[in-house]
Amino acid sequence: MQSSAAIAATLTPFQRADEEINESLQDMTIDETNLESVDVTQHFHVVDAFSMPKLVYDEHSRTFTRSKEASKLLAGAREKGEMFRERLLLVKQRLLRNENFCPPTMRMTDSANFIRITPVKALIGHDGEEFILFGMLTQVEEGKVFLEDEDAHIELVLDQAEYNYGLFTDGSFVLVEGTYGDDHRFHVQEVNLPPAESREMTDTLFSHVDFLGLPKPLVDEVPLAFIFIGNFSSKPFRYSASQTAEYKDNFSALADLIGEFHNLATHSNFVFVPGPKDPWGGNTLPQREIPPSFISRMQHKVRKLTFTTNPCRIRYCTQEIVIFREDLLSKIWRNTLLTPNLQVDDDPIRHLVHTIIDQGHLSPLPLSVKPVYWSYDNALRLYPLPQTLIIADKCENYGITYEGTHCINPGSFPNSDFEWSIYYPNTRLSEKCSLPNAI
């Protein structure tokens, strides 16, 4: 059967090797003569997680419509089911547009290589036959892995399963190829992540849809911004009087430091994204911004200041940048249902990037591991794919481009050689930086 090869072919390799990125950085120059002519306020917009328009995919009209129901932090039980259903439909609609899965009636090509996805409920009465299924991995019963689609679920037998890239967790969406056994279980031969859809393709298909709730950009200049990502304290915030005063004093000291550089404090954007140890932090996503009571001096010293949520999005002229603070690598690695295949690639970072982009979601983890406000799950979805994804993780600094999205981890500033990343929107590349050893 050629199905497995066809599925694997859709998992496009990383589009830039590290050597190519380094070569491009050597040729990079910044034209500072035009910076003063750019009105940053017109081209730099921050969208917090709770302001994201909630768009729902309509299978019948094959487009996105704005949800008529207001989102709530404490939503009803129905919202939890709708959250997973909308995640599934979002991945499925892009999957069925992929050239390998597109039905013959939708394209004028030979249908011999067309891969048909079979609903779980259609397996009944087809013992011993081979199929390809799409759905969500879940554990309906303790110690057993099931695949669930819109209408049914089936137990998977994974002892002979092969797979390449990916970190497969409870709640992740996968394609499985195998045989429906007479024991009414699905004996899996291959497991793969669903192929991602490039931002260019999505923009072509849904050019009329405003995914961020912002006016369409008309220019592609390069304004200047500094993005600070928490935690902004080494210890969790406990809301005591002494810790509140210390936290506020630290931000006041930072405000005074920035104020010493008048041009930066006046003309540059400063964006602060909280971490789990910051005020109003915790384990549930999305996370609220740091309260104004802690940052009053910053507001007086810095002209263009934004304290926003985790995650958040930035429209940087014509580009979309998603910023997310979470130690994803360690959490996903600990919660995989299948041992990651390090033979295909021994770099865990590439498995992580593959998983996040192909899943189209910032947190493909069980809700028991990383809770989500059900009504605001749309703020965690990566559709369309952004041009840039910043995953602020405590693991090592990296910059990798996959499926047209440049993924950056600036790393932990205090727990490294004081490292950070610079991103150049004109080339869509990033550069790793660090302070001199003498500091």
How many C-beta atoms lie closer than 10 Å to residue 93's C-beta?
18
Quick check: 89 pLDDT over 70? yes
Q: Which two tokens stand for residue 420?
A: 């950070």
As a whole number, mean pLDDT of residues 338-350 equals 96
DSSP assignment letter at 260:
T
Write down the domain spans for the chain.
Answer: 10-53+203-326+362-434
How many C-beta atoms lie closer than 10 Å to residue 397's C-beta?
20
Quick check: 353 pLDDT over 60? yes
pLDDT of residue 6: 45
Quick check: 30 pLDDT over 70? no
Instruction: Please state which architecture CATH assigns to domain 10-53+203-326+362-434.
Output: 4-Layer Sandwich (3.60)
Q: List the beta bridge partners of residue 64.
A: 57
For residue 429, give the H/E element and its range: strand 429-434
Quick check: 434 pLDDT over 70? yes
Classify 269 in phi/psi space as left (phi over 0), alpha (psi -120 to 50) or beta: beta
* Per-residue pLDDT tens digits for 144-176: 999 999 999 999 999 999 999 999 999 999 999
Quick check: 422 pLDDT over 90? yes
Quick check: 10 pLDDT over 80? no
Q: How far apart are CA 47 and CA 370, in angstroms?
A: 22
Q: How far apart are CA 87 and CA 84, in angstroms?
A: 5
User: Which region among 6-20, 95-109, 287-301, 398-412 has the lowest average model confidence (pLDDT)?
Assistant: 6-20
pLDDT category of residue 276 using cuts at 50, 70 and 90: very high
How many C-beta atoms lie closer than 10 Å to residue 205's C-beta?
16
DSSP assignment letter at 41:
H
User: Which region among 26-40, 49-63, 277-291, 359-373 has the lowest average model confidence (pLDDT)?
Assistant: 26-40
Q: Residue 149, CB half-sphere, CA atoms under 13 Å: how many?
A: 19
pLDDT category of residue 80 using cuts at 50, 70 and 90: very high
Quick check: 215 pLDDT over 90? no
pLDDT of residue 223: 53
Q: Provide the residue type at 21 as one letter.
A: I
Q: How far apart are CA 227 and CA 270, in angstroms?
A: 6
Q: How far apart are CA 234 and CA 305, in angstroms?
A: 23
CB 408 within 8 A of CB 119: no
Quick check: 26 pLDDT over 50? no
